[in-house]
Structure 1
């Protein structure tokens, strides 16, 4: 919990200034007592000394007031910094949550990646990926409210494996569709559908998907 201290009210400034000024006056008074006891100053010198004492007290009073104003300004500047820090912390938490989402998806879906990774490492422009997604040429798994990640096993040389569109037309929900694609299928003699698509055996996989839906 972030604490805030109010340095800006006038009573605090006056209190600080008064305390410092009183302390200076006390020290100077002790000095005057010692000097008077020693009878080292003339009357004229004593008057000058009194004037210097008053000036010193005034100066310290102003200095203390300035210090109080400085602390007040520092406190005001620290407040937005605290907000920014909390905001950065919130952002870091969000990033960690997104990473956790990806890890949870990868527990069952295998390695996945977002559009930025696919563009940088697979050379797939975002516009192309979006077009594939709209036309069911790729399996897009929802991560969070609106974002999607894409299983990497479905790509061959920067393009989706042929036959994914037909599979998604039969198994409309991308999650069960991808689960079926990555598991050995009895309808394919224990072979894995996505591996067959990568080997250009789309026709067999599409027939098996049709039989899977019908049963």
Structure 2
């Protein structure tokens, strides 16, 4: 979703070992390919209002990238074992040639269930590049569980999180076999924040009130 993309929802998908970035909100686009065309009289962005909701993301070097995107959302995704980073905040297209570009900014990371291992090639929870505005991001009611070192599950984030759950095993049914469902006994059940953006969960069921954290309500 780049080149001037706007108002796109990526919902209810399964991503398995999906390369460098399983979902890239924004990116890098040659100026002649932007649609609508770039505007010299207003700030431009690679993408705006991209919403990544209720997906299951297994593997990939990074699960989600906010790359020159403005006001984008990652909510209620279940993220399992990213290789190096969970989230990336980057700027690959900068102001030049008379065109001004806004930095990656205004991102919201809410109600995501992150089940990861800090061993191996894992680097950091959020990789922040230059020319971005990480202080404008919101992190809220995400669950973070490092299955290699549960006591070290606390994420390193660019801003303080509101209501995060840290170090509590979400009780995924069988993550090694790809079953990332939860039960009503999970600390993720009913622990999320209400969002107007939410429709159905990964399986098409309605989210609860309040919603669970992650892509699936308890079965």
* TM-score for both structures, normalised by structure 2: 0.21
TM-score if structure 1 supplies the norm length? 0.21
Which structure has the higher relative contact order (CA within 8 Å, separation 6+)?
A: 2
Pick the structure with more strand per residue.
2
